[in-house]
Amino acid sequence: MRQEWEPEDLIEVWTLLEEDQERLRNKSGANRLGFALLLKFFEWWPGSRRTPGRFR
């Protein structure tokens, strides 16, 4: 995991795009915040991407 971040990198990784906001519309309160954090984390985390044959 990265130890040092530039402000531009943080903005790029953690900003919610329009499609992300669409996914959050039916969530409320703390659920919305938690879902948003997990969504952005798993988009960024290299181990979260599926590779062919990895999951069966």
Residue 44: its pLDDT value, please?
Answer: 83
Question: In the chain, which stretches have pLDDT less than 70?
Answer: 1, 47-56
How many CB atoms are located within 10 Å of the residue 16 CB? 13
Residue 56: its pLDDT value, please?
Answer: 41
Q: Does pTM top 0.85 for this prediction?
A: no
Tell me 1's DSSP state. Answer: -
Give one DSSP letter per residue of 1-56, joined into a string: --S---HHHHHHHHPPPHHHHHHHTT--HHHHHHHHHHHHHHHH-GGGS--TTT--
Residue 45: its pLDDT value, please?
Answer: 80
Residue 20 CA to residue 35 CA, distance in Å, equals 10
Residue 2 CA to residue 18 CA, distance in Å, equals 26
